[in-house]
Chains A and B, each alone.
Chain A
Amino acid sequence: MIKVDRSFSHMEYVEGMEQTPHDIMDTVLKERAEYDYNKYTENDVRRALNKEFADVEDFKALLSPAAMPFLEEMAQKAKGITRRYFGNSVTMFTPLYIANYCENHCVYCGFNCYNKIKRAKLSMEEIETELKAIAATGLEDILILTGETRSKTSVEYIGEAVKLAAKYFKLVGIEVYPMNTDEYRYIHECGADYVCIYQETYNPDKYETLHLRGHKRIFPYRFNGQERALLGGMRLVSFAALLGLDDFRKDAFATGLHAYLIQKKYPHAEISFSPPRLRPIINDASVNPNDVHEPQLLQVMTAYRLFMPFAGITISTRERAGFRDNVIGICATKMSAGVSTGVGGHIGEEKGDEQFDISDPRSVEEVHQAITEHGCQPVYNDYVRV
């Protein structure tokens, strides 16, 4: 029997965690709690669609059930905005999992500490071998991932991996446990410019019930991760809720508002969204009417585009090829290719098990081809490190 670790509150910091102001978090949580999407009408959606720039109130309308019948119009408008801001460019990247040890117990995650999976951590030699293999595919943009444990994958270990990655790639990002500002600064100096943090859900009460053990239980420390990353010198930060863990409309709204307020406070920050979802279970509609099917996912993605025209949107390999290939022309600006979610796996056998199954196993070459066939321009590099 697995018990919830109640030795500390999920809303209070523990020793070693840097505390930063809660101004943005307080606003996001208050607005999320008050967001009643059922009150929005067809007229509210029309008004939002007719505006040149969607404001926060419009964003709420665009995420509401009333907007569902307007999905085609949202997609059309999103497509025009994406073309104006990004042209037809679609940047390709790939994730590299260098370890899957984890000290957290997140009930929905394949890496959680109670799952009896094959754990592994790559040595620096193994990491370099993987990096070389990925670089040989032509990619210039890489995301380094670990499970979340400082004891098995220290800041220094991640920093050394980033230094190696920076030798082979023009843009290096990390998706690891949230860190303190000085640690982000160190990782930035090692060569990373991009930090991706999934908040999972922005409902603190639900968050507590899903994250039973480990440092990840501390909601505010995770919430303020992007801000600390920017303070540490990182240039790009990514925001995400795992849609479907809780009420996806409220979580999508909170994700957008979080990013919006960060950009307002740090105007130079380059913002991007990742919209992962939990796949609905067959016949689950009666149990959970807020399941995220493809139309709902597209609604969220187009609402992000209308609300934050300049933000990048990354489309995950969790989605099928047919969905991914079509959203790049509408709202997504970045897509992964040649993906393995196991530890290593870009050359020979994976050393550790996968975090989740992917739905789009295509190689870099195949994704390149698909992007071209959809009238878009595959981009390998869109970054210069200064």
Chain B
Amino acid sequence: MDDKLIIGGHEFNSRFILGSGKFSLEMTDKVIKNGGVEMATLALRRANVGGSENILDYMPEGITLLPNTSGARNAEEAVRIARLARAIGCGDFVKIEVVHDSKYLLPDNYETVKATEILAKEGFIVMPYMYPDLNAARDMVNAGAAAVMPLAAPIGSNKGLSTRDFIKILVKEIDVPIIVDAGIGRPSQACEAMEMGVDAIMANTAVATASDVGLMATSFRLAIEAGRKAYLAGLGRVLEYKAEASSPLTGFLRD
């Protein structure tokens, strides 16, 4: 079955986008292979071109880089970081992160919309990290976003789909790929999000904090694939409160 993830005209077989920067760099190759990962994010702030422990040196060939603008507090800073990323050869994809709260690291949707508009006009394939708000998501799409990346829960929290209902609304209403980013703590949560119809999952902390990082990457790949197949198969109905009544309330009706 031809089931590609298409972002900005680029096709991907994998729906597992890997975050980096929280596990040892020497593990990168193994995690990417085990996870079947085709796209990996990296914080430009961790790039150390020409220097020691440069994260870019550990990214295997063929992987699509998704540099993020971590460290930006407003649209202007995000734009500058994105341009720097492109200048050092990270390609046209960019994940916009605009955060001006060092405590919760929640994204600023308003500034993110502004950065999306500027960068999309400059030819970037813009993937904004966002709080799952329908109005903001529409604004981002109108501004040229190639996908939207709503958070499931606060970043690094491993809490799972705290924003489930709001992400469901985005799945229904937004036509670009929805990639759940931040907060996914275990493969079962990734699977559930995929069953809901999101297009891809981004995870980092959940993999990085596992006892066996490589094995957890495998597990995420399988869970994401399972969730996607379940979505495509169409979930069977689930009766929430009780079994089907043998004497239905509408039994008195005649033809």
Contacts and interface: CB of A to CB of B under 8 A. Distances in A.
Given A83-B208, A88-B208, A386-B71, A138 B24 contact: no
A87 B209 CA distance: 7
A140 B50 CA distance: 11
B23 A88 contact: yes
Interface string A75-101: 000001001111111000000000000
Contacts of A89: 21-22
Interface in A249-284: 263, 267-271
A380 B100 contact: no
Contact of B45 (A86, A376, A383): A383
Given A85-B156, A140-B48, A310 B21 contact: no
Contacts of B45: 381-384
Contacts of A375: 24
A251 B208 CA distance: 35
A377 interface: yes
Nearest to B99: A268
A375 to B, nearest CB: 8
Interface string B83-105: 01000000000000000111101
B48 A84 contact: no
Contact of B73 (A88, A138, A268): A268
Nearest to A170: B48
Contact of B102 (A270, A368, A376, A383): A270
A254 to B, nearest CB: 20
B81 A268 contact: no
B46 interface: yes
A386 B80 contact: yes
Contacts of A86: 22
Contacts of B43: 382
A381 B48 contact: yes
B51 interface: yes
B81 A87 contact: no
B201 interface: no
Nearest to A86: B22
Instruction: Provide the main secondary structure of the chain B interface.
Output: loop
B171 interface: no
Interface residues of A, number: 31
A84 B24 contact: no
A263 B48 CA distance: 29
B234 to A, nearest CB: 36
B109 to A, nearest CB: 16
Contact of B205 (A87, A384, A386): A87
B25 interface: yes
Contact of B44 (A88, A269, A384): A384
B47 A381 contact: yes
Contacts of B44: 384
Nearest to A139: B52
Interface residues of B, number: 33
Interface centre among B44, B48, B158 (most CB of A within 10 A): B48
A120 B7 CA distance: 59
B77 A380 contact: no
Interface in A148-194: 170
A225 interface: no
A292 B185 CA distance: 38
A84 B100 CA distance: 19
B11 interface: no
A90 to B, nearest CB: 11
B102 A384 contact: no
Nearest to A171: B45
B147 to A, nearest CB: 23
B72 interface: yes
A88 B51 contact: no
B183 to A, nearest CB: 11
B133 interface: no
B157 interface: yes
A380 B53 contact: yes
A384 B101 CA distance: 17
B156 A377 contact: no
A366 B84 CA distance: 32
Nearest to A84: B156
A377 B100 contact: no
B179 to A, nearest CB: 21
Given A386-B71, A386-B72, A380 B51 contact: yes
Contacts of B24: 88, 372, 375-377
B21 A267 contact: no
Interface in B18-76: 21-25, 43-48, 51-53, 71-73
B81 A386 contact: yes
A68 interface: no
Interface string A344-386: 0000000000000000000000001000100111111111101
Given A84-B156, A381-B48, 6 more contacts: A80-B209, A83-B22, A88-B22, A88-B24, A138-B52, A382-B45
Give 8 closest A-B pairs by Cβ, nearest first: A87-B22, A138-B52, A386-B77, A381-B48, A384-B45, A267-B101, A268-B100, A84-B156
18 contacts: A80-B209, A84-B156, A84-B209, A86-B22, A88-B22, A88-B24, A89-B21, A138-B52, A267-B102, A268-B100, A270-B102, A310-B103, A310-B105, A381-B47, A383-B45, A384-B44, A384-B71, A386-B71
